[in-house]
Structure 1
Amino acid sequence: MAFDPTTLKYDANGLIPAIAQSETGEVLMMAWMNAEAVQRTLDSGRVTYWSRSRQAFWVKGETSGHVQRLLEFRIDCDRDCLLMVVEQEGPACHTNRRSCFYTAVRDGSEVELMAPMAP
């Protein structure tokens, strides 16, 4: 059966959360996609998101060089969240860290789990 991006469950703004995960299982980031971003990602193999603040598409790594190449596109059981298994070049986070999930709460305090990567 051919995949149709319109069969996904988007929110009222036409967006669906998309989690980027490395091939080793590390969660890198979460961003938003609309149906066109989904199709662009599948067509190009380069992960394309929808920027809510800029109201524009952004191809991960287009300006930073920190490219995400799509390895596998997964849909959750409710069809309302996506998982992009990617090959990540360099940091995924705009703070220059490998992952956006670099802060944990331990014993009631925030703990930084990773420092920014060297340029």
Structure 2
Amino acid sequence: MTADGTAPTEEVGGWLDKLGALLRTVGLVVAMGETSLIARNIREPEGATAAGRAMNPGLRQEVVCQPDATGVPWWFWVWQGPTRDAPGELEPLCPAANLEWAAERITRVLAMPEGPP
């Protein structure tokens, strides 16, 4: 932990790499940032039209790794703010060390059921 209460870049980068690797093993596409990653499920729904594919290029979810109030690195969901130009809102997911649980939750959010509902 640094003096300002943030996790060192190397520590955050290590957690991001580990979570990204787990998400890739279940078929998600992962884009890495400095303190966050965006996981995407690019599978198309059955019967998708060209217009539908253009408007919805896949399900995606951003998560950020940063210390909680006690200084322990945590995963946080990043949700879009109330307006287009508002900053994202963070919701706690789990401690960064709970990699398997975080990967399972992210995978569940991005799941696309097989066939018609």
Normalising by structure 2, report the TM-score.
0.30
* Structure having the higher Rg: 2
Higher strand share: 1
Higher helix share: 2
